[in-house]
Amino acid sequence: MKSFVIPEIYKSNIIGKIKEIRRTKDKLKKDFTPTVLDFGSVKFLIARHFGFCYGVENAVEIAYKTIGENPDKRIFLLSEMIHNPDVNADLLSQGVKFLMDTKGNQIIDWKELKSDDAVIVPAFGTTLEIQEKLLSIGIDSYKYDTTCPFVEKVWNRAGQIGERGYSIVVHGKPNHEETRATFSHSKQNAPTVVVNDLKEAQQLAKYITRELPKEQFYKDFAGQYSEGFDPDKDLQRIGVVNQTTMLASDTQGIADFLKKVIIEHQNAQPAEVEKYFANTRDTLCYATNDNQEATYALLENKADFAVVVGGYNSSNTSHLVELCEEKLPTFFIQSHQSILDKNLIKRYDLHKKQENITDFIPEKEQITIMLTCGASCPDAIMEAVLLKILSFFNTTKEIEELIETL
């Protein structure tokens, strides 16, 4: 796989060594067991896969290369390049400005842009409407495009099955940049509707079976369907694609459910399944899958609690938090700065969408901690979290010594 030029501030000697050892011993990436660092008074179970993925490394390299090669140009990002506050803060410190926030609200008016400005497209991609807007200003949106190749794969797949007469169901968060981009590209070739979760998929199924009148569809899915979408006609042949950072198991669950509903409604024979439902399993992102599978393997072990590091608006990170929360107490934090001391931590509550200061490490003879992070979290931040927690304990082993035994 291609290697990228990543700024030193995002690298970690400790985490880098751990990853390289695991990579060397498990070249086919079939061993999802966690890395164990046992210091006696505290033991860390570190997920097999975590941190910068291919798409994020690609985006980081292009963004910093753009800055380095254009010292005399104004440089803009359409919105956050990736969902990590440290990375975005560093880009801002180097003079880059955001044109929009993550929900698509304008921060800088299009009228302020000039044709010789550099505009970076984030890893999530962008909509065709925004591409056309930039082109009207004289800006080529493909010149500094960091769109993840796996996001583009979803667009291509949606286009292919759309051309074959299927409508597209996008499993994603309707307001997420990637889902907005995928929706924009998909609707060019096929009627498209977005479902946020299984509950919405179950509601959509009622229009496949015509249990509900189509007039109600436009209320239930307001803002989530393409212009001219007719549920009576456009839900007879479908394919499901996804926002790449969603839980793979959730996407597959939605696809399996809708497939069952449409096959039963059409009374289709096994040989006729593809006539009504397109096979789109290949749109699931490998990195998202690997990180989620590594988290499942992590959770097969016993621990006192889990720490998940990443941006609070990071979709893939939030799904790792959800997995961990099902099994044990979980602390969702942005960085080592969220750890106030051994007893207190500033954690993010996914459900209430707010930070809270809560108790942290319990008083025990030995503590076992699960540690992982999202695909947009730099190794340097993971190292800082690991070392800060480690500083609260009296240990007789050095971390380099333990790494050598892996």
Q: Terminus-to-terminus CA distance in the chain, angstroms? A: 24
Mean pLDDT across the stretch 305-322? 96
Residue 283 confidence class, pLDDT cut points 50, 70, 90:
confident
Q: How far apart are CA 46 and CA 115, in angstroms?
A: 47
Residues 104/174, Cβ–Cβ less than 8 Å: no
pLDDT at 2: 77
CATH 3.40.1010.20, applies to 153-284: yes
Confidence tier at 1 by pLDDT (50, 70, 90): low
Q: Write out pLDDT tens, residues 365-392.
A: 999 999 999 999 999 999 999 999 999 9
CA-based nearest residue to 255, from 161, 175, 365, 388: 161
In this structure, which topology does domain 54-137 adopt according to CATH?
A: Rossmann fold (3.40.50)
CA angle 386, 7, 340 (to 5 degrees): 30
CATH number for 8-53+287-404: choose from 3.30.230.70, 3.40.1010.20, 3.90.1170.50, 3.40.50.720.
3.40.1010.20
Over range 258-262, report the average pLDDT. 96
List CB contacts of 25: < 8 A, sequence separation 6 or more: 31
Q: Where in the chain is the domain with CATH 3.40.50.11270?
A: 54-137
pLDDT at residue 346 greater than cutoff 90: yes
- 45-61 average pLDDT score: 96
Could you give the residue range(s) of every CATH 3.40.1010.20 domain in the chain?
A: 8-53+287-404, 153-284
In this predicted structure, what is the pLDDT of residue 390? 97
Residue 310 has pLDDT above 80, yes or no: yes
Q: What is the pLDDT of residue 279?
A: 84
Return the residue matching tokens 């099955």: 161
**Integer Rg of the chain from CA:** 23
Percentage, residues of the chain above pLDDT 70? 100
Q: Of residues 80, 177, 178, 383, which has the active-site annotation?
A: 178
Q: Is the pLDDT of residue 349 over 70?
A: yes
178 is catalytic: yes
Q: What is the pLDDT of residues 98-156, one digit of tens each?
A: 999 999 999 999 999 999 999 999 999 999 999 999 999 999 999 999 999 999 999 99
86 pLDDT higher than 70: yes
The rounded mean pLDDT for the chain is 95
Indicate the pTM of the whole model: 0.92
